[in-house]
Structure 1
Amino acid sequence: MGLYRLAAAAALCAYALALASPGNAAARMRIVSLAPSVTETLFALGAGPDVVGVSQYCDYPPQVRDLPRVGSFLTPNLEAIIALRPTLVVGLELSSDVRQIRALNSMGYPVLLVSDDSLQQIETSIETVGARINRQPQARRLVAQIQTQIAAIQQRLANVKPERALMLVGHQPIVAVGAGTYLDELMRIARADNIAANAGQQWPHLSMEYIIAMRPEVVLDGSMGTDPSSSSGFWERYPAIPAVRDHRVFGYAEDPILHAGPRVGQSLEIIARMIHPEAWDRAAGGAHN
Structure 2
Amino acid sequence: MLLKVLAAVLVWGNLCAAERIIALSPAINETLYALGAGDQIIANTEYCNYPMEAKNKPKVGGYFSPSLEKILSLSPTMVILQENNAPLAAKIEKMGIKTRIIKIDTYPSIRESIFTMGQIVGKEKRAEAIVSELDHKLRVLRGIVRNQKILMVFGHNTDLSKSIYVSGQNLYFDDLIRESGNVNALQSSRKGQPVLNLENIIALNPDIIILLAPNTKERGLTKEALIAPWRHLPINAAKRGKIYVEDQPYSSNPSQRLGLFLDDMRGYLLDAARR
- The TM-score normalised by the length of structure 2 is 0.83
For 1:65, the equivalent position in structure 2 comes to 55
Match of residue 195, structure 1, among 185, 189, 192 = 185
Contiguous gaps of at least 5 residues in structure 1: 1-16, 282-289
For 2:266, the equivalent position in structure 1 comes to 272
The whole-number CA distance in structure 2 between the counterparts of 1:233 and 1:137 is: 46
Q: Percent identity?
A: 25
Match of residue 258, structure 1, among 252, 260, 263 = 252
Is 2:230 the partner of 1:235? yes
Is 2:17 the partner of 1:25? yes
The whole-number CA distance in structure 2 between the counterparts of 1:32 and 1:159 is: 41
SS at match of 1:198: coil
Moved more, 65-74 or 249-258: 65-74
Match of residue 145, structure 1, among 133, 141, 154 = 133
Structure 1 residues 194 and 30: alpha-carbon distance in aligned structure 2, compared to 1, 3 A threshold: same
Moved more, 210-219 or 266-275: 266-275
Structure 1 residues 232 and 38: alpha-carbon distance in aligned structure 2, compared to 1, 3 A threshold: closer
Task: Note if contact 1:163-1:275 (Cα within 8 Å) is conserved in structure 2.
Answer: no
For 1:5, the equivalent position in structure 2 comes to none
Structure 1 residues 158 and 223: alpha-carbon distance in aligned structure 2, compared to 1, 3 A threshold: closer
RMSD (CA atoms): 2.6
Q: Deviations over 1:228-282 (max 9, x none)?
A: 212244224x331222222222111252120102122322231232134266x7x
Greater share of helix: 1
Q: Which runs of 4+ in 1 moved over 6 A?
A: none
The whole-number CA distance in structure 1 between the counterparts of 2:66 and 2:75 is: 15
Is 2:30 the partner of 1:40? yes
Structure 1 residues 207 and 126: alpha-carbon distance in aligned structure 2, compared to 1, 3 A threshold: same
The whole-number CA distance in structure 2 between the counterparts of 1:18 and 1:66 is: 32
For 1:161, the equivalent position in structure 2 comes to 146
Task: Note if contact 1:177-1:202 (Cα within 8 Å) is conserved in structure 2.
Answer: no
The whole-number CA distance in structure 1 between the counterparts of 2:10 and 2:45 is: 24
- The TM-score normalised by the length of structure 1 is 0.79
Match of residue 133, structure 1, among 103, 117, 121 = 121
Q: What is the identity, as a one-letter code, of the residue corresponding to 1:147? A: D
Structure 1 residues 203 and 254: alpha-carbon distance in aligned structure 2, compared to 1, 3 A threshold: farther
Structure 1 residues 144 and 165: alpha-carbon distance in aligned structure 2, compared to 1, 3 A threshold: closer
